[in-house]
Amino acid sequence: MNAVPMNGDRLVMAPGEMRRVGYATVDALVELLADQRDRPVLGRAAPEQMQQRLGGPPPEEPEGFDRALRYLVDDVLPFRSNLQHPGYFAYIPGSGTWPGALGDLIASAMNLDCGNWMESSGPSQVELQVLDWFRAWIGYPEGAGGVLVSGGSAANLTALACARELRLGPMTERAMVYCSDQSHSSVARAARTLGFRPEQVRVLPSDERYRLRLDALAAAVDSDRASGLVPLLVSANAGATNTGAIDSLPELATYCAAQNIWCHVDAAYGGFVVLTEEGRSLMRGLELADSVTLDPHKWLYQPFECGALLVRERGALERAFSVNPDYLADTEAQHAEVNFAARGLQLPGQSSAEAVAVPANLRPCCLPRRHS
Ligand SMILES: *Cc1c(COP(=O)(O)O)cnc(C)c1O
């Protein structure tokens, strides 16, 4: 193998060239994003067609940035659904915005690492601030914990891992998770990832308004306890993906507290309706949940991917996830410092890009207007 010469120049571009390729990229993007109505909504192709355009061995020689950009514009980007198109309604598309995209660019260009405070106090404070806004919006008490993650799926996984670690410790075949037939597939996938077998996830029927039936939940919990199983977590919906259904959050939270079951609310789709008066009343009880999943890349118009998990109990995330390896011995958080790596699975974090992207979009002028 030919080693790359120990010459940093290969990785560094001269400022003039940085500007030139940067402007060329922005020009190409603006061109692609302008006049959406005149563009096709869908761009589909068969695997052979894509293979023909993009297949082949890695180039022997560098091909240069301009060539790479042309490939993207001609052979890659036309072949995708155009989620920004005003006529695109399929699934639950995100609709990123330009300020959010520039936030991602800034985070990538600066190569931010939000894993620990010592290395990243500025970006960490931005992430803390954004999470604190979310905390206040959903009605959690001051000091509640949170972390930005790569999306709703990652947030649900993190919530289940946190609950299992704090309430149960090691995984057992007796731990049970409950959700409704309207719950997002990521709940079952999170359970599988963490070692729950399919029979450890009870999918309960919903009522005529697609809400988890409390009587069905109570019956399942009673019967599971009678068989020696350990009810661990209920994943409720606050804006189910199929129908927008919102489970009876106050009743569920009260029931779970009485039963010592972790009450998680998956509000990836619907959570940010709390920014409106009407939405806030629909989401009554969200603040009682032990943890809440939110997806800024849905109703906050962040580019993919940006999710968030909030956990009501102060310090719960750290208690679940903090591990201090020798190579990070110097980074241990002091006093009010927060090391985001200690709050979840990701080390430098998805979160760095998102922490910049979120506020880029959330200047007050960009906030969804509240009903008054
Ligand atoms: C979209 C969605 C998810 C998954 O979120 P991703 O960001 O796509 O990983 C989870 N739950 C609900 C209710 C959703 O709508």
What's the mean pLDDT in 206-217? 98
DSSP secondary structure code for residue 75 in this structure: I
Mutational pocket test of ligand 1: of 269, 297, 300, the residue with most ligand atoms within 8 Å of the beta carbon: 269
Take atom 4 of ligand 1 and give the residue whose Cα is closest. Answer: 152
Q: Is the pLDDT of residue 2 over 60?
A: no
Among residues of the chain, what percentage have pLDDT more than 90? 74
Mutational pocket test of ligand 1: of 95, 153, 187, the residue with most ligand atoms within 8 Å of the beta carbon: 153
Name which residue leads in pLDDT, 232 or 6: 232
Query: 305 C-alpha vs ligand 1 centroid, how far in Å?
Result: 11
Please report the pLDDT score of residue 367 as a whole number. 40
Take atom 5 of ligand 1 and give the residue whose Cα is closest. Answer: 152
Mutational pocket test of ligand 1: of 179, 184, 206, the residue with most ligand atoms within 8 Å of the beta carbon: 184
Which atom number of ligand 1 is nearest to the Cα of residue 297?
A: 7
What's the mean pLDDT in 289-295? 97
Q: Is the pLDDT of residue 93 over 90?
A: no
Please report the pLDDT score of residue 5 as a whole number. 46
Q: Is 152 in the pocket of ligand 1 (CB under 6 A)?
A: yes
Q: Is 184 in the pocket of ligand 1 (CB under 6 A)?
A: yes
The candidate with the shortest Cα–Cα distance to 300, out of 152, 94, 87, 101, is 94
Q: What is the mean pLDDT of the chain?
A: 90
Please report the pLDDT score of residue 253 as a whole number. 98
Mutational pocket test of ligand 1: of 160, 241, 291, the residue with most ligand atoms within 8 Å of the beta carbon: 241
pLDDT in tens, 106-158: 989 999 888 889 989 999 999 999 999 999 999 999 999 999 999 999 999 99
Q: Is the pLDDT of residue 53 over 50?
A: yes
Query: 245 C-alpha vs ligand 1 centroid, how far in Å?
Result: 14
pLDDT in tens, 324-333: 777 766 766 7
Q: Is the pLDDT of residue 202 over 80?
A: yes
Say which range, 67-81, 285-299, 339-353, has the weakest mean pLDDT.
Answer: 339-353
Domains of the chain: 15-90 (1.20.1340.10), 105-323+336-362 (3.40.640.10)
Which atom number of ligand 1 is nearest to the Cα of residue 269?
A: 15
Q: What is the pTM of this model?
A: 0.91
β-bridge mates for residue 293, sequence order: 266, 309
Q: Is the pLDDT of residue 357 over 80?
A: no
Q: Is the pLDDT of residue 359 over 70?
A: no
Q: Is the pLDDT of residue 183 over 90?
A: yes
Please report the pLDDT score of residue 278 as a whole number. 96
How would residue 260 be classed by pLDDT, with cut points 50, 70 and 90? very high
The span from the CA of 196 to the CA of 187, in Å, is 11
pLDDT in tens, 16-47: 999 999 999 999 999 999 988 888 899 999 99
